[in-house]
Chain A
Amino acid sequence: MAINRMFRTCPMTGLRVHESAEALIKANAVAAVVFLLLGGILALLVALTRWQAVHLLPPDWFYLVLTGHGLDMLVFWIIFFEIAVLYFASSILLGCRLAAPRLAWFAFFLMLAGGIINNYAVFRGDSSVMFTSYAPMGAHPTFYLGLILFAVGALIACFVFFGTLVVGKAEHTYNGSVPLVTFGAVTAAIIAVFTIATGAIILIPTFLWSVGLVDHIDSLMYRTVWWAFGHSSQQINVAAHVSVWYAVAAIVFGAKPMSEKVSRGAFLLYILFLQLASAHHLLADPGLTSNWKIFNTSYAMYLAVLASMVHGLTVPGSIEVAQRRKGYTKGLFEWLRKAPWGNPVFSGMFMSLLGFGFLGGISGVIMGTEQLNLIIHNTIYVPGHFHATVVIGTTLAFMAVTYFVIPAIFRREVSFPKIAQWQPYVFGIGMTMLAVFMMGAGTLGVPRRHWDITFAGNALGYEFPGTAHLMMGLMGIGGVIAVVGGAMYLLVVVHSVFLGRRIETPGFQRVRVVEGMAPIPVPQPAGAAPQAHGGAQAWGAPGTFALAMVFLVSFVLYYFINWKYLATVWPLK
């Protein structure tokens, strides 16, 4: 089989773009967006049902739609997009050909088939088991089959990524260490391998059980192994969106990492410890000892949290350094005030960073503490937390970088620039409302995944305080705003990609590279930055330091408020 060695040099970024990699990035990104559309429609229906005053769907539809929403968003949208990120961070940033494009296409179609089959199972109506699909609750066999096919496809894609690193090294398209953004993608891919392996370990027997070949699945065993998969898959997201943050800082500001050593060390902490925090999902389960729970959550998880705080500090820090060098040196925050807030690539990324840190990060530590977990376990606080992490954090970061990918990879101008400019704000603000009010309602005890908290017509009712209903209403309004923001994204993206004005470059051509050698990268401004290495620069970022102090103070205060609250829930007399 002939190896495709056709490259083009991107006139906008100077990056060398391999033909096959480009096509695969497009395909995976388009598939991702289709699932986002589906998940978004379902999101609206879910939000309008949990908003008690609207209470749109009947119960069977509510649980069906909630299952579909969780899977289409958390699994299919995010992972398709991540595969695109992996191919970009390897082939394009290293300027080398993608290893085994045919295999990558096979992986893509396997994932696509998996996504469709799983959705088929959900919409049949007999698989409303939520995305966690806890045994002994059973779904139709095609539910598990779809997930397994998808996972196998994603695993193959990860190995195409690792193979591309090997190709780059062998064909000398880069020297020494890979760029930091690529290193972040390596972290994501490593976590993905563990995630998918544990997914297979638990979903294959469950599939066999659903077709009657295995007669029993132990529920605690299921939950334990399932969460190694379910939680770790969220950590793929974290590693991927942190890489996107670094990439955006480099693309928009030409920022270089403040310290390669520190940032890479933080990614190493992710590789070693992030996945262990899976245990926080089992804090309320009997059967596992506190030794296991506390080692894996408190000790290991705090090291991973530390790593996130490092990234949360060095990304804005590197932006601050770059901005100060451009002369924005007045006071603590001129660099931030004069940042390009009208550029959705930046605004989306920065809101992702703030939301992930302040809302998602702090609430995550609270939930990961064994004692405090009892206050909010299985309440709607939990979806409040993870909409801050996977939606404001990951999804918004991916949306932001899309506005760079459209001109750079799809070679189209971004349509409706005004709408694109507002989109991250509408989505970010709506999502922030949704997350905050979910957390508020959860603190008052409102359960998650619950069709009707008024318990109308039930023998054993429970009356939630009026504030809880108010919060659920505000949550619903936030949800509607977020759906509008999501629709704006879809409008801009779909229009740009299919109908947008082509960016024509005079003399454009793809060049065949001499057999056995990839092209020598010619760095140019925007593309060179994410490929470049940082040095041991001075840590001249006082504004970021001030922000970090605000973060720590909020963190400590909120932590103690929760302990205080725990004391009132469980009075010790």
Chain B
Amino acid sequence: MADPARDDGLTADELDDGIPFMQQLLDNPFILLFLGVVTPTVLYVIWGVMEIVGIPVAK
């Protein structure tokens, strides 16, 4: 857990001691949930819907 008394900058040593970034990411189901919902929402749903909305309507 982050220590509020400490500033954000980590020294190289502290990084080595700590858990690797990827592992922290994979250990956090809620960040993964966020990524797993936002990625397809943006790239598939929003992009796709914008293309459909952009189709001119026949008169």
Chain A residues in the interface with B (C-beta under 8 A): 162, 165, 176-178, 183, 186-187, 189-191, 193-194, 197-198, 218, 220-221, 224-225, 228, 232, 261, 264-265, 268, 271-273, 275-276, 278-279, 282, 287-289, 292, 295-296, 300
Give the residue name and chain of the B residue nearest to A232 (CB): B40
List residues of chain A with CB within 8 A of the CB of B43: 276, 295-296, 300
CB distance from B29 to the nearest CB of A (A): 5
Give the distance to chain A from B44, nearest Cβ to Cβ, in Å: 5
Q: Is the pair A193, B33 in contact by a Cβ cutoff of 8 Å?
A: yes
Name the one of B22, B23, B45, B52 contacting A287, with C-beta atoms under 8 angstroms.
B52
Q: Are B49 and A225 neighbours in the complex by a CB distance under 8 Å?
A: yes
Could you list 29 examples of A-B contacts with CB < 8 Å?
A165-B29, A177-B26, A183-B26, A186-B29, A190-B33, A190-B37, A193-B33, A218-B52, A221-B52, A224-B49, A225-B49, A228-B45, A265-B22, A268-B26, A271-B32, A271-B36, A272-B35, A273-B39, A275-B40, A275-B44, A276-B43, A276-B44, A287-B51, A287-B52, A288-B48, A288-B52, A292-B47, A295-B43, A296-B44
- Smallest Cβ distance from A189 to chain B, in angstroms? 8
Closest 10 CB pairs of A and B: A275-B40, A190-B36, A271-B36, A224-B48, A194-B37, A190-B33, A186-B29, A264-B26, A276-B44, A177-B27
Smallest CB–CB gap between B46 and chain A, Å?
11
Count of CB-CB pairs between chains A and B under 8 Å:
85
**How far apart sit A272 and B49, CA to CA, in the bound complex (Å)?**
20
Question: Of the candidates B27, B30, B39, B49, which one forms a contact with A276 in the assembled complex, judged by CB atoms under 8 Å apart?
Answer: B39
Interface residues of B (CB under 8 A from A): 22-23, 25-27, 29-30, 32-33, 35-37, 39-41, 43-45, 47-49, 51-52, 55
How distant is B16 from chain A, measured CB to nearest CB, in Å? 17
**Which one of B32, B37, B48 has the highest number of Cβ atoms from chain A below 10 Å of its Cβ?**
B48
CB distance from A267 to the nearest CB of B (A): 8
Find B37's partner among A197, A287, A289, A295 (CB 8 Å cutoff).
A197
Also in contact, A288 and B51, with CB within 8 A (given A190-B33, A198-B45): yes
Q: What chain A residues lie within 8 Å of B39 (beta carbons)?
A: 271-273, 275-276
CA–CA, A573 and B42, complex, Å: 41
Q: Are B32 and A176 interface neighbours, CB within 8 A? A: no
Contact between B33 and A278, CB atoms less than 8 A apart: no
Q: Chain B residues with Cβ under 8 A from A224's Cβ?
A: 45, 48-49, 52
Chain A residues contacting B27 (CB-CB under 8 Å) are 176-178
Chain B residues with CB under 8 Å of A292's CB are 47-48, 51
Bound: A220/B50 CA distance, A:
12
**Does B29 contact A162, Cβ atoms closer than 8 Å?**
yes
Known: A162-B33, A186-B29, A288-B52. A177 touches B23 (CB 8 A): yes
Let me know if A221 and B49 touch, CB within 8 A. yes
- Chain B residue with minimal CB distance to A277? B44
Q: Which residues of A contact B40 (CB under 8 A)?
A: 194, 228, 232, 275-276, 278
Q: A221-B49, A276-B44 are in contact. Are A190 and B55 (CB under 8 A)?
A: no
Q: Which residue of B lies closest to A299 (CB)?
A: B43
Which among B33, B40, B55 has the highest number of chain A CB atoms within 10 Å? Answer: B40
Q: Kindly list chain A residues whose C-beta atoms are within 8 Å of the C-beta of B37.
A: 190, 193-194, 197
Q: Which residue of B lies closest to A271 (CB)?
A: B36
6 additional A-B residue pairs with CB within 8 Å, beyond A225-B49, A276-B40, A278-B44 = A165-B29, A189-B33, A271-B35, A271-B36, A271-B39, A275-B36
Distance between A183 CB and nearest chain B CB, rounded to angstroms: 7
Instruction: Give the docked Cα–Cα distance between A228 and B40 (Å).
Output: 8
Query: Among B32, B36, B37, B55, which residue has the most Cβ atoms of chain A within 10 A?
Result: B36
* Structural contact, A279 and B48, CB atoms closer than 8 A: yes
Q: Say whether A191 contacts B26, CB under 8 Å.
A: no
> How many angstroms between the C-alpha atoms of A316 and B55 in the bound complex?
48
> B14: shortest Cβ distance to chain A, in Å?
19
Q: Which residues of A contact B22 (CB under 8 A)?
A: 261, 265
Q: How far is the CA of A224 from the CA of B22 in the complex (A)?
A: 33
Given A193-B33, A194-B37, A287-B55: A225 in contact with B45 (beta carbons within 8 A): yes
Complex Cα gap A193–B39 (Å): 13
Contact partners of B48 in chain A: CB under 8 A? 224, 279, 282, 288, 292
What residues of A have a CB within 8 angstroms of the CB of B33 in the complex? 162, 189-190, 193
A210 to B37, CA, bound (A): 28
Kindly state the separation between the CA atoms of A273 and B39 in the bound complex, as whole angstroms.
Answer: 8
Within the complex, what minimum Cβ distance (angstroms) separates A278 from chain B? 6
Expressed in whole angstroms, the Cα–Cα distance for A276 and B27 within the complex equals 23
Shortest Cβ gap from A38 to chain B (Å): 31
Residue of A nearest to B41 (CB): A194
Q: Quick one: closest B residue to A295, CB to CB? A: B43
- Please give, as numbers and ranges, the residues of chain B lying within 8 Å of A265 by CB-CB distance: 22
Kindly state the separation between the CA atoms of A279 and B47 in the bound complex, as whole angstroms: 11
Minimum CB–CB distance from A262 to chain B (whole Å) comes to 12
Q: In the complex, which residue of chain A has the Cβ closest to the Cβ of B48?
A: A224
